[in-house]
Chains A and B, each alone.
Chain A
Amino acid sequence: MQDGAAQSDANPAPLPEKMSVTLTVNGTERRFSVLPWVSLLDALRDHLDLTGTKKGCDHGQCGACTVLVDGRRINSCLTLAVMRDGAHVTTIEGLATNGALDPLQQAFIDHDAFQCGYCTPGQICSGIGLIAEGRAKSPHEIREFMSGNICRCGAYPNIVAAIQQAMGTKP
């Protein structure tokens, strides 16, 4: 609020120190120091060099930044790295096992579920979360529960088909 800003101008607070954060990212413990306003998204990309997770709108509207935190899909742009100290984070870089793609990654290839690919890491992490939730089954439900991921190229029918394949409800 504006009144808060006015007060800080009259009596400026000292700038904060960097804070130590420990995350288990794709199975590996990573320790780093960030200022409190660094989002989880920026920490992944700029501090841990994991640039697979994309910054689209930076306002939670596009879903390109979707990652799994403690198994749940969230918008990494709308959470602070310091708030997630101790968490387990899975990004697109952590989905393959010993070089073998996750079934949903393979399904995206099989169904040509992308064009430019910018939204794809977020789409796939979101789809992994959706499958783990076990709620969305029908195409209507998959579309609804994937609505937080925008695909500007319009690959939606193929994305739905890929998720159905990975869920085992479609060949």
Chain B
Amino acid sequence: MIPFQYTRANNVADAVRLIAANSGAKFIAGGTNLLDLMKDNVERPTKLIDISRLPLTSVEETASGGLRIGALVPNADLAWHPLIEKRYPLVASAILAGASQQLRNMASTGGNLVQRTRCAYFYDTATPCNKRQPGSGCSAVNGINRGHAILGASTSCIATHPSDMCVALVALDATVHVTGPNGGRTIPFADFHRLPGDTPHIDTNLGPDEIITAIEVPAKGFATNYSYLKIRDRLSYAFALISVAAALELKDGTIQEARLALGGVAHKPWRDVAAEAALRGRPAEEASFAAAADLLLRDARPQAQNGFKIDLAKRAIIRTLTQAARGTPQSQSNKTIQ
């Protein structure tokens, strides 16, 4: 870790002013990802602006029937918030599928969005990485890439976004509220994270002097027919090889509305509205789910070591949609998959 200055922001305007005035500065909230990266000299801020005491910790109902979640609500509190458990259990389930309870107690809602990839080469400063050092090359393309992207990757970067919560939020059409020097704006969740292209050092469309203040979820929470299934190398406390967020609205066995998003497959949480459209009007049965999976994976391209992920993704999509249709969501404690 390199030496850095530390200061505490008094309010959101103060935080924006401080970040705009210090080009080497970063915000710190939960710190679980940033401090980890600083210890490895991957992140080297010259100043930390502590935003952890800003009053962004409430969960409030919106006029349109949704919820506005403060950016500093800890992940654990969000997963166990009565309104999230009751109306957005897909979000609760996805959060509980990630990290450990200690980390969920620390990590913030906003910080979860801007956490960085866990690609081993991104962490290893002895190796080239276009995300860490633009133009240096990608070590994963010809390296150990078993866990890497199968969708939306580029020759510059094949890293994946590590979040579980974000997979649920993109499926539910959340929006991200941000504030910058010119005031506030909202970013649709699907537009918040970027694909790598030839600028993989830029993870998101959040401006360098903007701060996330809240995440808003619309009224429709799909609380009856949903499931979040995470497939990983060990049963707990590991990042996804494949994760699937599925939500359905059913009428007499026919799909009225569908949401389908994947984690662990791309540089961003991967939602496919074409696959969702293909499910609408179809019977809630395996043939419909398999067709949607094939459509979602139409442009999937394996790396040298992760071809298994394409077939795994297809089977996970079918299983998760089946769980959602049955109304038997995947337990995040008992990991038996039924």
Q: Which residues of A contact B (CB under 8 A)?
A: 1-2, 4-5, 7-8, 13, 15-16, 19, 35-37, 39, 58-60, 63, 66, 72-75, 78-80, 82-83, 126, 129-130, 133, 135-136, 138, 140-141, 143-145, 147-149
Contacts and interface: CB of A to CB of B under 8 A. Distances in A.
Contacts of B331: 140
Nearest to B74: A72
A147 B236 contact: yes
Which 10 A-B pairs give the minimum distances between C-beta atoms?
A148-B100, A36-B6, A147-B236, A4-B24, A147-B237, A5-B44, A144-B333, A141-B333, A140-B334, A8-B46
Given A59-B36, A75-B32, A36 B4 contact: yes
B3 A16 contact: yes
Nearest to A75: B102
Interface in B9-26: 23-24
Nearest to B5: A16
Given A36-B4, A83-B52, A144-B332, A4 B101 contact: no
A4 B100 CA distance: 31
A79 to B, nearest CB: 5
Interface string B86-107: 0000000000000111110110
A80 B28 CA distance: 10
Contacts of A15: 3
Contacts of B101: 73, 126, 129-130, 133, 145, 148
Nearest to B80: A135
Nearest to A73: B102
Contacts of B28: 80, 83
B230 interface: no
A83 B31 CA distance: 10
Contacts of B47: 13
Contacts of A58: 39
B98 to A, nearest CB: 11
A60 B201 contact: no
Contact of A78 (B45, B50, B106, B333): B106
A13 B6 contact: no
B116 to A, nearest CB: 10
Given A2-B133, A4-B46, A135-B80, A63 B100 contact: yes
Given A73-B101, A129-B101, A60 B333 contact: no
Given A7-B23, A8-B2, A60 B32 contact: yes
B46 A16 contact: no
B132 interface: yes
B283 to A, nearest CB: 34
Interface in B36-91: 36, 38-39, 43-48, 50, 52, 76, 80
A19 B44 CA distance: 20
B106 A79 contact: yes
A8 B24 contact: yes
Contact of A60 (B2, B23, B24, B103): B103
B219 interface: no
A38 to B, nearest CB: 10
Contact of A148 (B23, B36, B103): B103
Contacts of A13: 3, 5, 24, 46-47
A154 to B, nearest CB: 14
Contact of B31 (A35, A80, A130, A136): A80
Residue in B39, B80, B100, B201 whose Cβ sees the most chain A Cβ within 10 Å: B100
B31 to A, nearest CB: 5
A73 B101 CA distance: 8
B238 to A, nearest CB: 9
Nearest to B6: A36
21 contacts: A1-B43, A1-B44, A1-B132, A5-B2, A7-B46, A8-B46, A13-B3, A36-B48, A37-B1, A37-B38, A75-B106, A78-B31, A78-B32, A79-B31, A80-B28, A80-B31, A82-B50, A126-B102, A147-B237, A148-B100, A148-B237
B35 interface: yes
A14 B31 CA distance: 23
Given A4-B24, A8-B46, 17 more contacts: A5-B44, A8-B24, A13-B3, A13-B24, A15-B3, A16-B4, A37-B1, A60-B103, A63-B102, A74-B102, A74-B106, A75-B32, A78-B32, A83-B31, A136-B333, A147-B236, A148-B100
A80 B31 CA distance: 8
